[in-house]
């Protein structure tokens, strides 16, 4: 996907929508649910409180808790259960030891489930105990329409989150320098204590291709569809975007972000 071209082509979206008055749902049918915030204020949304499957957007909360519980230099030992994680992974094996910072990068950039489970087990001994911490933290953050059953975002009957909750969670996470520093990278690597290196690219195709894009996380499962939390900042204006179940998430994300910045710029321009 050539997102540099999409960013330029987004001017078409601006002209197509420019004559319309602002509406609650500016982008009908773009996703099962979405939220666009400008400087923390909701600008457009659809089904923002619907409790949907968040896929690997779950890892935003997992990372936030892990960061609060340990330092970058903390050594984590990979368990057999973590090494056998399904879905996206970097290929960790039982007994490998890595720094927490490297596992966080693998989890947030590559969306690696083996890294995710290793971190959850390190913090709380078992994933079940870690999930209890996740739900307690979600309650403390006021995420009223979210409930988690696992640390990594696998589909489960009651594993749900709303677009509005995820937008709030993303803003909280981006206030943490360690979290923000990871998700802004185009690529990363994880190194075991015995010298093995796992290199990976950021699954967030906006990073490095869309002006001001600094995060946050992608997600996908067959049941959840394509999901995205994006954050971009230009000249002091911040845009947060959440898409749940979005068939064309990259094209739509670019158009929505560009429109949000354009309208924010226009509204702040001095009147003549």
pLDDT, tens digit (0-9, with 9 covering 90-100), for 201-212: 999 999 999 999
Closest CA to 242 of 107, 52, 67: 52
Residue 5: predicted pLDDT: 43
Angle between helices 59-69 and 163-174 (to 10 degrees): 30
For residue range 29-84, what is the model confidence (pLDDT) as tens digits? 999 999 999 999 999 999 999 999 999 999 999 999 999 999 999 999 999 999 99
Q: How many CB atoms lie within 10 A of CB 38?
A: 17
The residue range of the domain holding 38 is: 3-268
Residue 24: predicted pLDDT: 80
Judged by phi (left if over 0) then psi (alpha if -120 to 50, else beta), residue 125 lies in: left
Residues 6+ positions from 145 with CB-CB distance below 8 Å: 49, 50, 51, 160, 161, 162, 164, 165
For residue range 11-22, what is the model confidence (pLDDT) as tens digits? 333 333 333 334
CATH code of 264's domain:
3.40.710.10
pLDDT tops 90 at residue 234: yes
Residues forming the active site: 56, 59, 111
Question: What is the residue-wise DSSP string for the chain?
Answer: --HHHHHHHHHHHHHHHHTSPP-S-SSTTS-SEEEEEETTEEEEEESTT--B--GGGGHHHHHHHHHHH--TT-EEEPPHHHHT--SS-----TT-EEEHHHHHHIIIII--HHHHHHHHHHHHSSHHHHHHHHHHHHHHTT-TT-B-SSSS----TT-BB-HHHHHHHHHHHHTSHHHHHHHT-SEEEEEBTTS-EEEEE-S-TTTTTSTTEEEEEEEEETTTEEEEEEEEEETTEEEEEEEES-TTHHHHHHHHHHHHHHHHHHHHSPP-
If 0-12 CB within 10 Å is exposed, 13-18 middle and 19+ buried, where does residue 88 land? Answer: buried
Which of helix, strand or coil describes residue 107? helix
Closest CA to 123 of 87, 82, 184: 82
Number of folded domains in the chain? 1
pTM over 0.95: no
* Banded pLDDT at 235 (limits 50, 70, 90): very high
Q: For residue 16, report the phi and psi dihedrals to the nearest 5 degrees.
A: -70, -35
Give the C-alpha separation, 176 to 161, whole Å: 21
Residue 98: predicted pLDDT: 98
Higher pLDDT, 125 or 4: 125
Cβ-contact 94, 83 below 8 angstroms: yes
The C-alpha angle 180, 185, 188, rounded to 5 degrees, equals: 115
Give the C-alpha separation, 130 to 121, whole Å: 7
Mean pLDDT estimate for the chain: 92
């Amino acid at each position: 996907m050539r997102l540099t071209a999409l960013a330029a082509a987004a001017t078409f979206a601006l002209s197509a929508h420019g004559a319309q008055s602002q509406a609650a749902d500016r982008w009908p049918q773009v996703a099962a649910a979405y939220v666009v915030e400008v400087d923390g204020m909701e600008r457009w949304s659809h089904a923002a409180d619907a409790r949907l499957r968040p896929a690997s957007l779950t890892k935003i909360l997992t990372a936030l808790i892990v960061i609060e519980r340990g330092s970058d230099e903390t050594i984590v030992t990979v368990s057999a259960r973590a090494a056998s994680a399904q879905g996206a992974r970097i290929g960790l094996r039982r007994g490998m030891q890595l720094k927490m910072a490297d596992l966080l990068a693998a989890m947030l950039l590559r969306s690696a489930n083996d890294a995710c489970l290793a971190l959850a087990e390190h913090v709380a001994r078992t994933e079940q105990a870690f999930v209890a911490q996740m739900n307690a933290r979600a309650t403390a953050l006021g995420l009223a329409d979210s409930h988690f059953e696992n640390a990594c975002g696998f589909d489960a009957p009651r594993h749900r989150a709303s677009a509005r909750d995820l937008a709030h969670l993303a803003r909280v996470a981006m206030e943490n320098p360690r979290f923000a520093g990871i998700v802004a990278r185009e690529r990363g690597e994880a190194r075991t204590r015995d010298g093995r290196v796992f290199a990976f690219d950021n699954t967030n195709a906006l990073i490095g291709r869309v002006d001001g894009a600094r995060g946050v996380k992608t997600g996908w499962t067959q049941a959840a569809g394509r999901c995205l939390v994006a954050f971009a900042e230009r000249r002091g204006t911040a845009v947060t975007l959440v898409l749940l179940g979005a068939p064309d998430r990259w094209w739509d994300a670019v158009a929505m972000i560009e429109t949000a910045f354009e309208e924010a710029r226009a509204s702040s321009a001095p009147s003549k």
